[in-house]
Amino acid sequence: MQIDVLSLFPNMFEPLRESMIGKALERHLLNFDVVDYRSYSHDKHHHVDDTPYGGGAGMLLKPEPLFEAMDGVNQRHPGPKRVILMDPAGKKFDQQAARELSQERHLVFICGHYEGYDERIRTLVTDEYSLGDYVLTGGELPAMVMIDAIVRLLPGVLGNDESAHTDSFENGLLEYPQYTRPPEYRGMQVPEVLQNGNHQLIARWRLKESLRRTYLRRPDLLERVELDDAAKKLLREVKTEEATKAAERRLNAFEQNKEDTD
């Protein structure tokens, strides 16, 4: 995969060359270039922004530097590419989008700054993405998040390809709890089922705890995921168990309050 980033702050992307993405670069699974589009400014002061027509607060990115930066990308790498604009008005980036984009051969990320973009810049773009309903100073941090989420899905990037498939959100659910040695630490025990070597029981426990974590923390995800009959049965067990726990907590709280008032 080829990834190009158009940014006014190219040094922000240097940490991406470490760890997992660094290994992808070493294995030639990824080519990664960052272009400072300020270098395409023809102003003697290298301005890339200007005041908006019609007045208003803030400054807008001018079209010329980004158009010429994209011309350079297209000259170096002819062929189809997805050009992604980081924008608060874009569609929300999620794991499904990461999977889709990981299938592409070439991605270009445009990172804005200032108040916004000259509208003509959007004609360069195939996709607009946002991380959520909040505003950041620039597009660099969202682009880094997206790149990390996408690159880790490329075949051969992770040491164990199964890791990507068992991550949270990969099957529409949050990931199950995980443990390593020692089996007991400060009174906290690793569940016995994980230590007995019965892979069928382990798989059942993991699915059930994945359903439990999703039910407790992100119940909205359960509305969008297709569960088979076995998973539906486990989810019913989870709901019953959690309802029992909640009733016990209410009873304990009632008894404690009663003792305090006596």
Average pLDDT over residues 202-207: 96
Supply the pLDDT for residue 173.
Answer: 93
pLDDT digits (tens, 9 = 90+) for 51-106: 999 988 889 999 999 999 999 999 999 999 999 999 888 999 999 999 999 999 99
Distance CA 212, CA 238 (A): 6
SS3 assignment, position 181: coil
Which residue positions form the known binding site for S-adenosyl-L-methionine? 112, 131-136
Supply the pLDDT for residue 165.
Answer: 58
Alpha carbon distances (Å) from 66 to 7, 21, 54, 60, 253: 9, 26, 22, 12, 61
Q: Which fold has domain 2-151?
A: Alpha/beta knot (3.40.1280)
Every domain range in the chain assigned CATH 3.40.1280.10: 2-151
Per-residue pLDDT band for 30 (boundaries 50, 70, 90) equals very high
Every domain range in the chain assigned CATH 1.10.1270.20: 184-261
Supply the pLDDT for residue 150.
Answer: 98
Evaluate if residue 162 carries a pLDDT over 70: no
Evaluate if residue 49 carries a pLDDT over 60: yes
Distance CA 41, CA 52 (A): 18
Instruction: Return the CATH class of domain 184-261.
Output: mainly alpha
Evaluate if residue 110 carries a pLDDT over 60: yes
Q: Which residue has the tokens 């004609």?
A: 123
Supply the residues annotated as catalytic.
88, 115, 152, 167
DSSP state letter for 92:
E
Alpha carbon distances (Å) from 174 to 69, 121, 135, 215, 237: 40, 37, 26, 9, 17
Model confidence, pTM? 0.82
Average pLDDT over residues 143-172: 81
Average pLDDT over residues 234-248: 98
Supply the pLDDT for residue 60.
Answer: 93
pLDDT higher for 131 or 169? 131
Supply the pLDDT for residue 56.
Answer: 83
Average pLDDT over residues 244-260: 92
Supply the pLDDT for residue 166.
Answer: 57
Contacts of 177 (CB under 8 A, 6+ apart): 209, 213
155-161: long-range contacts, CB 8 A cutoff, minimum separation 24: 155/29, 156/24, 156/27, 156/29, 157/20, 157/23, 157/24, 157/27, 157/29, 157/30, 158/20
DSSP state letter for 112:
-
Taking all residues of the chain, what is their mean pLDDT, rounded to a whole number? 93
Which residue from 145, 170, 171, 13 is spatially nearest to 92, judged by alpha carbons?
A: 145
Which residue positions form the known binding site? 112, 131-136
DSSP state letter for 182:
-
Polymer length in residues for the chain: 262
Per-residue pLDDT band for 250 (boundaries 50, 70, 90) equals very high
The encoded tokens of residue 59 equal 């400054």
Dihedral, 105, 88, 157, 82 alpha carbons, nearest 10: 0
Supply the pLDDT for residue 36.
Answer: 98
* CA atoms in the 13 A half-sphere facing the CB of 179: 17
